[in-house]
Amino acid sequence: MKILSVASEVFPLIKTGGLADVAGALPLALAGHGMHMRTLMPGYPVVMQRLAKSEVVATFDDLLGEPARILAAKHEGLDILVLDAPGFFDRPGGPYTDATAKDFPDNWRRFAALSLAGAEIARGLLFGWRPDIVHAHDWQAAMTAVYMRYTGLQHIPTVITVHNLAFQGQFGPEIFPELGLPPDAFSVDGLEYYGDVGFLKGGLRTAWSITTVSPTYAQEITTPEYGMGLEGLINARAADLDGIVNGIDTAVWNPETDPHIARPFAAGSLKKRAVNRQALVERFNLDDDDGPIFCIVSRLTWQKGIDIIAEVADWIVQQGGKLAVLGSGDQGLEGALLAAASRHRGRIGIVIGYNEPLSHLMQAGSDAILIPSRFEPCGLTQLYGLRYGCIPIVARTGGLADTVIDANEAALSARVATGFQFTPINADGLRQALRRVFKAYAEPKVWARIQNQGMKSDVSWENSAARYAELYSSLLAKV
């Protein structure tokens, strides 16, 4: 089976969040199921630099206003198709924002172009390779399904995966004539969304199948609380909606071989974690005592509940805990954490920025990872935590609820607990959970048992890849 995946970021070429991890890992996991996935992505400057060798496989004189080419390349086991369109992608800044973190004003055109290129590949643009199925990720690729639906490719199955419903790609109606679609695409059955053009909305309306990245989030987004205005549409499509939990790349995230940590370790040699803990203490200028170290590796945003952390930070320190934070994001939240760190030198350490190697050391050296997200489609950092003996303390929502087994009395005595969940998702809820955490931490045997049970959890892509493979097969059976 041949599958075209369309994504705006793909690890290890470029990453701003979990989408990249999924887009980079799924093709490798599917290969074991006899499926060949090629991935179309934008040719941002870092992507062009990182691809050693590539071959031009298609050209466009005018792709929504810019000349463009498609380059084929192999990268760390991935079969990549790069949309090389300098007018859209060769510019400083991140994938979506300029150097001042402002969205590029032409994002609609950039990602419509990516999607249109995906639809053209489905039409047979590439010599000798045409996908049986097209799988688009998030709003940046959602238009692939729309272009396919309205340009005569509705017979090819499409899947759209929602990694985060908060990002919808909504633009003014004035862009519609620029998209090169027939007028009926601007309707309730297509792109029209409260008078605007909704890229994700159009994808959710037109794709054959919708998936999101955990069963709980799949259920949550049918409700007004989590549906971000799209719950009506998602409800109407409930029969085509599936929740498939993400896996992680267990070769990249392997505590026995991880090159980014101070000392490798395994479930049977948890004592060796102490060397990583020591390295972390030094990196974050923390006091070298026995109190638990809680880490946070996250975008620093309201979604991630970082304001809750800021509110509870003083209390955590009073209880004898320490905090090590790696992340960047909202300036107000960064400021609140930096202020807490200056109040509590030696107890709270912060590194503002994005640092992949350091994120590994944090999982290897911290005692627990705090994830108080207000909503969390899947979440990856709790999965890394499970694998690294860094006990996840999570809000009971979305994928966090699906992947961490709370250490309540029953789960502890059945020896299945892997972490701590809390609700309500606010400072009181978190404090309540942390009381249980401090108690468990004071009993090293209990703590080690939770660590060990977590390390036994299956966080690989194995099961999830099988679910995607089943979904693709069931869609093909309908053709």
Binding site for ligand ADP (CB under 6 A): 17-18, 21, 164, 297-299, 326-328, 354-356, 359, 378-381
What residue number has its CB nearest to ligand ADP?
18
Question: CB-wise, 25 or 85, nearer to ligand ADP?
Answer: 25
Nearest distance from C-beta of residue 135 to ligand ADP, angstroms: 18
Nearest distance from C-beta of residue 326 to ligand ADP, angstroms: 5
Cα three-residue angle 9-11-15, rounded to 5 degrees: 55
**Is 423 buried (19+), middle (13-18) or exposed (0-12) by CB count in 10 A?**
middle
Number of H helices, E strands in the chain: 19, 18
Cβ neighbours, 10 Å, residue 422: 23
Question: CB-wise, 191 or 297, nearer to ligand ADP?
Answer: 297
Nearest distance from C-beta of residue 453 to ligand ADP, angstroms: 21
**Structure letter (DSSP) for residue 175:** G
DSSP reduced 3-state for 63? strand
Question: CB-wise, 5 or 206, nearer to ligand ADP?
Answer: 5
Nearest distance from C-beta of residue 124 to ligand ADP, angstroms: 34
Nearest distance from C-beta of residue 478 to ligand ADP, angstroms: 31
- Rounded CA gap, 184 and 202, in Å? 12
Question: CB-wise, 6 or 70, nearer to ligand ADP?
Answer: 6
HSE-up (13 A, CA, CB side) for residue 352: 15
Nearest distance from C-beta of residue 358 to ligand ADP, angstroms: 7
Residue-by-residue DSSP string for 88-122: HH-SSS-SSB-TTSPBPTTHHHHHHHHHHHHHHHH
Q: Tokens at residue 49, please?
A: 């630099």
**Structure letter (DSSP) for residue 223:** S
Question: CB-wise, 104 or 167, nearer to ligand ADP?
Answer: 167
Residue found by looking up tokens 């994938």 in the block: 95
Question: CB-wise, 164 or 453, nearer to ligand ADP?
Answer: 164
Nearest distance from C-beta of residue 63 to ligand ADP, angstroms: 28
Nearest distance from C-beta of residue 455 to ligand ADP, angstroms: 18
- Rounded CA gap, 337 and 313, in Å? 8
Question: CB-wise, 76 or 356, nearer to ligand ADP?
Answer: 356
- Rounded CA gap, 469 and 456, in Å? 24
Question: CB-wise, 103 or 189, nearer to ligand ADP?
Answer: 103
- Rounded CA gap, 400 and 397, in Å? 6
Nearest distance from C-beta of residue 236 to ligand ADP, angstroms: 26
Which are the contacts of 207, defined by CB distance < 8 A and separation ≥ 6? Answer: 136, 142, 145, 158, 159, 160
Question: CB-wise, 355 or 423, nearer to ligand ADP?
Answer: 355
Cβ density class 317-327: b for 16+ within 10 Å, e for less: beeebbbbbbb
